[in-house]
Amino acid sequence: MKSRAAVAFEAGKPLSIVELDVAPPQKGEVLVRITHTGVCHTDAFTLSGDDPEGLFPVVLGHEGAGVVEAVGEGVTSVKPGDHVIPLYTAECGQCLFCKSGKTNLCVAVRATQGKGVMPDGTTRFSYNGKPVYHYMGCSTFSEYTVVAEVSLARINPNANPEQVCLLGCGVTTGLGAVKNTARVQEGDSVAVFGLGGIGLAVIQGAQMAKAGRIIAIDTNPAKFELAKAFGATDFVNPKDHDRPIQQVIVEMTGWGVDHSFECIGNVGVMRAAIECSHRGWGQSIIIGVAGAGQEISTRPFQLVTGRTWKGTAFGGVKGRSELPGMVEDAMAGKIQLAPFVTHTRSLTDINEAFDLMHEGKSIRTVVRY
Ligand code: NAD
Ligand code: DAO
Ligand code: ZN
């Protein structure tokens, strides 16, 4: 079948709106009609060419919502008409990782997902007879996409897709990082570096956990208003200080914060984030994805004196088991999604979503088909 899609033919170039050919879903696969997709910093990172594993041509996008159109052989957990969110972190329930009870990092489709192909090693997308790669097992920048059954969360059909698509990445990652990775407790102090979709979701999660002080840090002060609306109590622009930002946070708090979160992808800020965490028990959670080949560093004495450095993918959330409940929470007003959707665009204007992100004007632009 034909599908309208925004294809990244080359790194560093705008997406091209074309009609792709999409092959039918094979065994264990599902054809999904995407109705809405967010545009995340990670899509921009891969499009930029800085992602060493980025493959081209590719259909990017991993923060979507849609409806099942058709299922391949053996698919039992979803049927045509079901409303779904594609998952870049699958949940098979069978692998060592799924059964461990310790992580959401399922390996069922990991090897092929990272190579931009379906589990049988081929792509379902093609253009002028040439294969086009999949992205993160989702490829939500195509109206019709094929994903593995284990990479689909079935959700309440009455949910607002323009908002719940954000549970496919940004908001879930931030909320999950607070709840599952850091396990923030009532009264704890928190510092959040980077106030994009991820950082703001961390702030919302910290407020839900009844954190005490929530320090919001960004070099773009335009981000502070929304951070305040989500519950941040203190606002710091590193550009206003002539000493290391970790020193500023430690001075503000006495001994540092109980939990810090890096939501940018900057290894220098990752260092600041661990070094502003509390002596004896502070922890820092890395959420940002750093550029190719970059490394983190700090003095080991920071860890010897009781700090812990951690990371998280998709906030530790197991998508198929947990996303349906998070969608219900959003519908019940327990999770706020509307403030994240600062802009909407049609597919033909998807490149504007990247411009708005780079200009620091948007939190999330949601593209509708
Ligand atoms: P974004 O670009 O919308 O937000 C980043 C924010 O950081 C911006 O507000 C920017 O002004 C600010 N910033 C940049 N440099 C700064 C600095 N030196 N000090 C303080 N603030 C600074 O990005 P996003 O969509 O929120 O994503 C954030 C990061 O999280 C990205 O690296 C993305 O790839 C990553 N991510 C990780 C996961 C995961 O599962 N681990 C999931 C989604 C996204
Ligand atoms: O299991 O090794 C693996 C692949 C992990 C995929 C999840 C990566 C999460 C970090 C990037 C997320 C940005 C959307
Ligand atoms: Zn698994």
List pLDDT tens digits, range 122-147. Answer: 999 999 999 999 999 999 999 999 99
Burial of residue 301 (number of CB atoms within 10 Å: 0-12, 13-18, 19+): exposed
Binding site membership of 4 for ligand 2 (Cβ less than 6 Å): no
Please give the Cα distance from 113 to 121 (Å, whole number). 9
* Mean pLDDT computed over every residue of the chain: 97
Binding site membership of 236 for ligand 1 (Cβ less than 6 Å): no
Contact 129, 52 (CB under 8 A): no
Which amino acid does the sequence have at 362? Answer: S
Mean pLDDT value across residues 77-105: 98
Length of the chain: 369
Q: How far is the CA of 252 from the centre of ligand 2 (A)?
A: 34
Counting residues of the chain whose pLDDT is more than 90, the rounded percentage is 98
**Closest ligand 2 atom to 114 CA:** 4
Q: Alpha helices of 288-365 — where are they, by DSSP H?
A: 301-304, 319-331, 350-358
| Whether the bond into 57 is cis, omega within 30 of 0 | yes
Q: What pLDDT shows up at residue 53?
A: 82
Binding site membership of 95 for ligand 2 (Cβ less than 6 Å): no
Contact 63, 30 (CB under 8 A): no
Please give the Cα distance from 216 to 78 (Å, whole number). 40
* Class of domain 174-312 as given by CATH: alpha beta
All residues at 6 or more sequence positions from 14 whose CB lies less than 8 Å from its CB, including other chains: 351, 354
pLDDT band at 274 (very low <50, low <70, confident <90, very high): very high
Tell me the pairing of strands 63-71 and 144-148: unpaired
* Residue 83 a catalytic site member: no
Mean pLDDT value across residues 169-192: 98
Binding site membership of 363 for ligand 2 (Cβ less than 6 Å): no
CA-only gyration radius of the chain, Å: 20
Mean pLDDT value across residues 276-290: 97
Ligand nearest to the CA of 316: 1
All residues at 6 or more sequence positions from 264 whose CB lies less than 8 Å from its CB, including other chains: 193, 194, 196, 199, 288
Both tokens of 64, joined, read 């979507």
Q: Which residues pair with 344 in a beta bridge?
A: 366
List pLDDT tens digits, range 35-90. Answer: 999 999 999 999 998 888 899 999 999 999 999 999 999 999 999 999 999 999 99
By three-state DSSP, how is residue 102 classified?
Answer: coil
Mean pLDDT value across residues 222-237: 98
Residue in 29, 46, 63, 124 annotated catalytic: 63
Tell me the pTM. 0.97
User: On the CB side of 146, how many CA atoms lie within 13 Å of its CA?
Assistant: 29
Tell me: pLDDT of 187 over 90: yes
For ligand 2, pick from 314, 317, 318, 364 the residue to mutate: most ligand atoms within 8 Å of CB.
Answer: 314
List pLDDT tens digits, range 329-366. Answer: 999 999 999 999 999 999 999 999 999 999 999 999 99
Angle between helices 267-275 and 245-253 (to 10 degrees): 20
Q: What pLDDT shows up at residue 51?
A: 83
Residue in 92, 154, 328, 342 annotated catalytic: 92
All residues at 6 or more sequence positions from 21 whose CB lies less than 8 Å from its CB, including other chains: 1, 2, 3, 125, 126, 127
Mean pLDDT value across residues 1-6: 98
Residue in 62, 83, 124, 134 annotated catalytic: 62
Q: What pLDDT shows up at residue 291?
A: 86
Looking at residue 180, the DSSP 8-state letter turns out to be I
Please give the Cα distance from 172 to 206 (Å, whole number). 13
Mean pLDDT value across residues 289-312: 96
Residue in 46, 69, 83, 106 annotated catalytic: 106
Residues with CB under 5 A from ligand 3 (ion): 92, 95, 98, 106, 108
The CATH classification number of 2-160+337-368 equals: 3.90.180.10
Binding site membership of 194 for ligand 1 (Cβ less than 6 Å): yes
Looking at residue 58, the DSSP 8-state letter turns out to be B
What are the structural domain ranges in the chain? 2-160+337-368, 174-312
Closest by CA to 175, choosing from 152, 207, 151, 153, is 207
Binding site membership of 168 for ligand 1 (Cβ less than 6 Å): no
* Residue 276 a catalytic site member: no
